Amino acid sequence: MRKLYYEGKKYHNNDPKIAICGNSWYDDGKIERDNNYNPIKVCWESLDPKIYVEYEPWMRTYIRILKLYSGDPTLHFRDPKIIGSLESIFFYNLSCKPMSKPREKPTSKDYKDSYPVFWNYLNYSEADLLIVLGKDTYRNLPQAGYQGPDIFDRETWIYTLKSGKECLVFPVVHPAAYSFSINEEICAVQEAIKYVNNNRK
CATH number for the domain spanning 139: value is 3.40.470.10
- Residue 151 DSSP one-character state: B
* Domains of the chain: total: 1
What is the CB neighbour count within 10 angstroms for residue 92? 24
Indicate the helix (H) or strand (E) that contains 130. Answer: strand 129-133
The pLDDT of residue 103: 74
The pLDDT of residue 111: 94
The pLDDT of residue 52: 83
- How far is it, in rounded angstroms, from Cα 4 to Cα 1? 9
Amino acid identity at 180: F
Band (42; pLDDT cuts 50, 70, 90)? confident
pLDDT tens by residue, 103-155 = 788 999 999 999 999 999 999 999 999 999 999 999 999 999 999 999 999 99
What domain range includes position 64? 5-199
Q: Is pLDDT at 7 greater than 70 in this prediction?
A: yes
- pLDDT mean across residues, the chain: 92
- Residues 165-175 as b/e (b if ≥16 CB within 10 A, e otherwise) read ebbbbbbbbbb
Query: Do residues 88 and 11 touch, judged by C-beta distance below 8 A?
Result: yes
Amino acid identity at 163: S
Report the candidate in 1, 114, 131 with the shortest Cα–Cα distance to residue 66: 131
Calculate the CA 84 to chain-centre distance. 16
Cis peptide upstream of residue 39 (ω within 30 degrees of 0): no
Q: Give the pTM.
A: 0.94
